[in-house]
């Protein structure tokens, strides 16, 4: 390994830089059929997505720069737009509220684990329901029984192990994962959106991938895609980390790592009152 710092010198980023170098060396010591490209989605991007798909019981995955970008793409692909409503949790990180507003939709705040409260929040204008596993794992099967055909997006940023291999009957339409600071897998900053089926996955690719990747995926390229692309180093690190995770999983595909990673949680109604 190249000596990045003199032995007698310490830098606040030393540990992070050395961890990145180790993962890059692990990547190049293996084999890959194509070079890593954020434009084509090949190399480490494809490797990370394919590993995620295996872990997720065959559901397709799309790598994005962050979980917030993933939530934006998921909601927009479900036709969240001005005039529509999105039911969001009363206890959550604030980015979901910000994204709903960014799309011009009306956030309807409720306790998504309370069936009666959730039922009251649903209306003919509801475009989607967001459930967030921030303090405990929400019973998504119960949520589905309440909301019927309304699409569900799961915020799994803090619940990777608990949600990545959940049975399809118990998951939403999109599952948004984070691989940023403080998460169960931390590559600096990255996200992944797992789709319930191939049709939902294609909608994400059509909305958020580069036109060249859309062509590689067999889709008609969009002239005005959002084209959100993760950093290649993040893609390489995630490909390595997900492979390590898969290798250490138990026979049923669930890792022994914790179910929900603690973190900052906002009381969304109280937050709105402060505005």
Q: Can you give the pLDDT of all 275 residues of the chain as single tens digits?
A: 455 555 666 888 989 999 999 999 999 999 998 999 999 999 999 999 999 999 999 999 999 999 999 999 999 999 999 999 999 999 999 999 999 999 999 999 999 999 999 999 999 999 999 999 998 899 999 999 999 999 999 999 999 999 998 887 789 999 999 999 999 999 999 999 999 999 999 999 999 999 999 999 999 999 888 899 999 999 999 999 999 999 988 544 454 455 788 788 888 999 888 88
The backbone region for 57, taken as left when phi is positive above 0, alpha when psi lies in -120 to 50, beta otherwise, is left
In a domain, 12, yes or no: no
Distances (CA, A) of 255 to 3, 134, 148, 251: 34, 18, 31, 9
- Which residue's entry shows tokens 């180790």? 22
Distance of CA 255 to the CA centre of its chain: 18
Segments forming the whole domain that contains residue 241: 37-273
In a domain, 128, yes or no: yes
In a domain, 90, yes or no: yes
In a domain, 20, yes or no: no
CA–CA gap between residue 262 and residue 266 (Å, rounded): 13
Residue 97: in which H helix or E strand, if any? helix 95-102
Amino acid 199: pLDDT: 97
In a domain, 2, yes or no: no
Residue 63: in which H helix or E strand, if any? strand 61-64
In a domain, 27, yes or no: no
Amino acid 160: pLDDT: 94
Going by C-alpha positions, the residue among 91, 73, 257, 236 that lies closest to residue 165 is 257
Amino acid 1: pLDDT: 47
Take residue 207 and report the two structure tokens written for it: 């909305």
The total number of structural domains in the chain stands at: 1
For 125, other C-beta atoms within 10 Å of its C-beta total: 12
In a domain, 153, yes or no: yes
Q: CATH number for the domain including 141?
A: 3.40.640.10
In a domain, 3, yes or no: no
Cβ(89)–Cβ(112) under 8 Å?
A: yes
CA–CA gap between residue 224 and residue 208 (Å, rounded): 10
Going by C-alpha positions, the residue among 63, 61, 23, 27 that lies closest to residue 45 is 63
Amino acid 10: pLDDT: 80
Amino acid 3: pLDDT: 56
Distance of CA 83 to the CA centre of its chain: 26
């Amino acid at each position: 390994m190249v000596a990045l710092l003199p032995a007698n010198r310490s830098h606040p980023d030393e540990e992070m830089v050395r961890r990145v170098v180790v993962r890059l060396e692990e990547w190049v010591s293996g084999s890959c059929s194509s070079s890593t490209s954020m434009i084509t989605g090949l190399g480490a991007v494809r490797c990370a997505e394919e590993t995620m798909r295996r872990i997720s019981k065959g559901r397709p995955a799309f790598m994005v720069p962050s979980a917030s970008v993933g939530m934006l793409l998921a909601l927009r692909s479900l036709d969240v737009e001005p005039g529509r409503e999105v039911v969001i949790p009363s206890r959550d990180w604030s980015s979901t509220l910000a994204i709903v507003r960014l799309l011009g939709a009306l956030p309807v705040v409720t306790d998504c684990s309370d069936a009666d409260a959730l039922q009251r929040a649903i209306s003919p204008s509801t475009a989607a329901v967001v459930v967030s596993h921030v303090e405990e794992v929400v019973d998504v099967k119960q949520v589905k029984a309440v909301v019927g055909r309304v699409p569900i997006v799961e915020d799994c940023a803090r619940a990777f192990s608990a949600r990545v291999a959940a049975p399809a009957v118990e998951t939403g339409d999109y599952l948004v994962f984070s691989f940023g600071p403080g998460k169960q897998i931390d590559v600096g900053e990255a996200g992944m959106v797992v789709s319930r089926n191939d049709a939902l996955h294609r909608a994400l690719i059509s909305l958020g991938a580069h036109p060249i990747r859309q062509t590689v995926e067999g889709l008609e390229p969009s002239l005005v895609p959002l084209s959100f692309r993760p950093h290649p180093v993040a893609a390489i690190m995630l490909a390595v980390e997900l492979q390590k995770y898969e290798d250490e999983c138990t026979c049923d595909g669930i890792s022994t790592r914790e179910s929900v990673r603690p973190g900052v949680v906002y009381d969304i109604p109280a937050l709105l009152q402060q505005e």
